[in-house]
Amino acid sequence: MSVDSPLFQYFAQFSPQIPVLLVSVAGMIALRMRRPPGAPWAMLGFGLTGFLSLASPVAQVLAISWMRSEGVSRSAWIFTALGLVTSALHAAALGLLLTALLAPPRNAVGEPGPMR
């Protein structure tokens, strides 16, 4: 597979996210002993974003190859569906990260404390 392949071109679109995700996941693993209340939500959000960073380019290349075999007029809907699903999953990942930020702090006993 050459560098000019469509898969590498689509991965280049998501490449800035990958180092940020790796640092974020490493930070969440380092904080696991403190058990912050939003940690599970943050890990789910970062995990979903990481999955999308890898799966979306592969899905786009598969859609392009399927479109070439079926014809443009019969398979153009796949890009609309792929865009809608990817956008909805990115919105879900952002919702998980927002939930992690808004999680109430825990008191000394480990129960949720009062909201500020």
In this predicted structure, the answer to whether residue 2 has a pLDDT above a threshold of 60 is no
In a domain, 69, yes or no: yes
Q: Residue 97's closest CA among 52, 18, 41?
A: 41
What is the rounded distance in angstroms from the CA atom of residue 54 to the CA atom of residue 89? 13
Average pLDDT, the chain: 79
Domain count, the chain: 1
In a domain, 28, yes or no: yes
pLDDT in tens, 75-99: 778 888 898 999 999 999 999 988 8
**Higher pLDDT, residue 96 or 15:** 96
In a domain, 55, yes or no: yes
In this predicted structure, the answer to whether residue 113 has a pLDDT above a threshold of 70 is no
In a domain, 34, yes or no: yes
Instruction: With H, G, I as helix, E, B as strand and everything else as coil, classify residue 102.
Output: helix
In a domain, 112, yes or no: no
Instruction: With H, G, I as helix, E, B as strand and everything else as coil, classify residue 33.
Output: coil
The pLDDT assigned to 31 comes to: 72
pLDDT-derived band at 34, boundaries 50, 70, 90? confident
The whole domain housing 30 covers 6-102
